[in-house]
Amino acid sequence: MSFEHAPVTKGLMMGSALTSIIGGIFDVKHYLHLQLVPHVSRNHQYWRLLLHHTAFSNSSDLLIAEILLYGVGVHIERQFGSVKFASFTVASVLLATILEFLTLILFHNMGINQIPSGPSALLFSILYQWYRLIPPAYHFKIFGIAGSNKAFVYILASQLALGHLPGSFAPAIVGLLTGFIYRSELVNIKSWRLSPSIIRFSTRFLLPLVGSTRAPRRSTRARPETTHQTPSPDIGNEEIIATARPSAGTEETGGSVVREWVNELTGRNEQGTTGVRVPSDAEITQLTTMFPNMQRAVIVGALQRSPNIESAVELLLAS
């Protein structure tokens, strides 16, 4: 997996790492956490409400957050699109700031007087979207207990939520509540987008700082090229083994006899001449789960026109 079509997630990861490192170098971590008494109530340091989202106070929380952002944020940004995902992050941070402040006011007598620094609330808001939108890739059982590949992400998230009790538990609950409010119809903020001027400014000045997000190109050679200056007499006779799929303009020679026979029995003879791929039931079910509001005929058509399920998802998101 790469950062292709996910520049906002890459920017969040780079920004969190950079601000956390700078905070440790200049020894200003004590200004980053949010504490009701005495910082907000007596000293009126309201700038802490937003500043505590910018950096983590220790390297372990930063490492867990970077892993979660890479494993969760990339999928959600590809589902939403970069503009909607950026608008979602801004709305989540503002809403989480209000809810965290209310949490400190209501529960400071119960021991929740401070919230550790770091964008934990935003991370759990993204995690809620990932829980609702992305289906599990596989399931397993350990000692009779059923689970899926999502369990590993939830274990990492629990480390972040339970690392600095009771303060670290508050942004986790606030983040999940923020994600629920964003996805529900309680507050109509799903349709809100950043202004075009901010998008143009970010595209022109901030996107070059993030760098390239294109996936690395796969080589078509199965063996690395030789570094010897004098070529061996047998090199010219060796056959180059290609691992990439043939392009659309090339024709496959020596087709499988067994495959042709199976296609004749199953009635898929037209597949090789029309270029239409026959999707499996598992692929149709997975895309139907990801796009519940889309008609089945549209999903089947996208799968038939795409070489794999990832390309079909991109085609449906683009449409």
**Residue 115 to residue 170: CA distance in whole angstroms:** 7
In 10 A of CB 155, how many CB atoms?
9
CA 234 to chain centre: 47
CA 301 to chain centre: 26
pLDDT tens digits, one per residue of 196-218: 999 999 999 999 999 877 777 66
Residue 137: name the closest of 152, 150, 153 by CA.
150
CA 312 to chain centre: 18
The string of DSSP codes covering the chain is ---TT-HHHHHHHHHHHHHHHHHHHTT-GGGTSEEIIIIITTT--TTHHHHTTS--SSHHHHHHHHHHIIIIIHHHHHHH-HHHHHHHHHHHHHHHHHHHHHHHHHHGGGT--EE-SSSHHHHHHHHHHHHHHPPPS-EEEETTEEEETHHHHHHHHHHHHSTTTTTTHHHHHHHHHHHHHHHSSSS--TT----HHHHHHIIIIIHHHH---PPPPPPSBSSPPP--SS--TTGGGSPPPB-SPPPTTS---S--HHHHHHHHHHT-TTHHHH------HHHHHHHHHH-TTS-HHHHHHHHHHSSSHHHHHHHHHH-
Residues of the chain above pLDDT 70, percent: 81
pLDDT tens digits, one per residue of 297-315: 888 888 888 888 888 888 8
pTM: 0.70
Fold adopted by 7-210: Rhomboid-like fold (1.20.1540)
Tokens for 238?
């060796």
Judge whether residue 288 has pLDDT over 60: yes
Distance linking the first and last C-alpha atoms of the chain: 23
Tokens for 10?
């890459």
Q: What pLDDT score was predicted for residue 293?
A: 81
Judge whether residue 253 has pLDDT over 50: no
Q: How confident is the model at residue 154 (pLDDT cuts 50, 70, 90)?
A: very high
**Residue 115 to residue 171: CA distance in whole angstroms:** 7
Judge whether residue 270 has pLDDT over 50: no
Q: Which of 13-17, 89-93, 224-228 has the lowest mean pLDDT?
A: 224-228
Residue 6: name the closest of 94, 65, 84, 92 by CA.
84
Alpha carbon separation from 167 to 42, 55, 108 (Å, rounded): 20, 16, 10
Residue reference for tokens 């920017």: 11
Q: What is the dihedral of CA 169, 131, 123, 188, to 10 degrees?
A: -100
Where do the structural domains in the chain lie, given as residue ranges? 7-210, 274-319
Q: Which of 98-107, 137-146, 169-178, 310-319 has the lowest mean pLDDT?
A: 310-319
Domain 274-319 in the same topology as domain 7-210: no
Residue 170 CB contacts under 8 Å (≥ 6 apart), including other chains: 100, 103, 104, 107, 112, 115
Q: What pLDDT score was predicted for residue 46?
A: 94
CATH number of the domain located at residue range(s) 274-319 in this protein: 1.10.8
